[in-house]
Structure 1
Amino acid sequence: MSHSFWSELISIIPETMWVAFATLAFLTLRKPIIRRFLDRPRESMETTVGGGGGKGEIRRWDHAAESLRGGRILWVDDNPPGNSELIKLFRSAGMTVDTAPSTEDALAYVEQGGYDIILSDIKRNGDPQAGIKMLRELELHKIPTPVVIYAMSFNPELGVDRRIFGGTNDPRDVVHYVIDLMERARMSLG
């Protein structure tokens, strides 16, 4: 074998090694990369409620993905940044989430288009009963949209208004209520 043969062979080894390395890297990392892009809603669920959430909650989120897609939430709260993680979570599932800082704004939104769920706090703009007053306005305007109360000061032991589907101060419960309501809405359509 000639010296030129060995020189040429040695010169193509680095190129061949890079191709082999790239192929190995692709084969090794393709599933995690695909999961990274396809499982964004699931990943959001894990980071948003994962602090105390378990595998059952994540499985439920995965199972509910089709029911959530296209759903519409109106979130009534005078402090929307406090709900930003849950809002991102629901949007990552393909839901529309509009925010309203007051009952008046909420009623204007509801008149413009239908919502599947209204999420609300109780205390707004200095009024400790704003959320409850909103329930009376919804009844007055014959708006049947289910309401979920999410407020840090919510205490179900004090009683739950007949107009409230559910109330909580735990973000995991909010996720479950939204899934429950969206599954019911989808079942009633199908």
Structure 2
Amino acid sequence: MPTTHLAPAPVGRRVRASLDDLLFVAAWFALLTLLGVAVRAIAPPAGPPSLPATDLTVLASTVLPVAAFLAAGDAGVRWAARGKRRAGLRVVTPDGARPSVGRSVVRAAVKIAPWQLAHIAVARLILGADDPVVTWTTYALSLAVPVVSVVTALRDPRQRALHDRVAGTRVVTF
């Protein structure tokens, strides 16, 4: 039942929920790392990887699955990904309703964008591609966006992080 008087989620519970979700993300990345090592052992690369292929591989194997995990949880019947559910939190719209798939995808995309920026910067740093200023600027943005998001949440009366403000959602206790 939608309500607008739900209490904003306490910062500590949001942090705990994020850390809980990060455990699943870390497990996914560990699995991908093992698969990558196995594939390289079986079929070593014939030459240097192309940047577009590297970017697409990273996007498809890391960023998109994590964003899908978060968006599916927020738009799902429990209104939250695993970490938030375990912390007693939900993602809601301004009127207290469950967010649509569209809102949840936007929320996840904004939340995960810094990861993609970091992946791009690190891949270019490892491969020695791109101008160092562009690489380091991209990496700096990947670090600055989460800081801005946390500061936004701490200053907002409803404790909405950047991804919540952009998607028109908020995290509440239930």
Q: TM-score, normalised by structure 2?
A: 0.26
Say which one has the larger Rg: 1
TM-score, normalised relative to structure 1: 0.25
Q: Which has the higher contact order (CA 8 A, sep 6+)?
A: 2
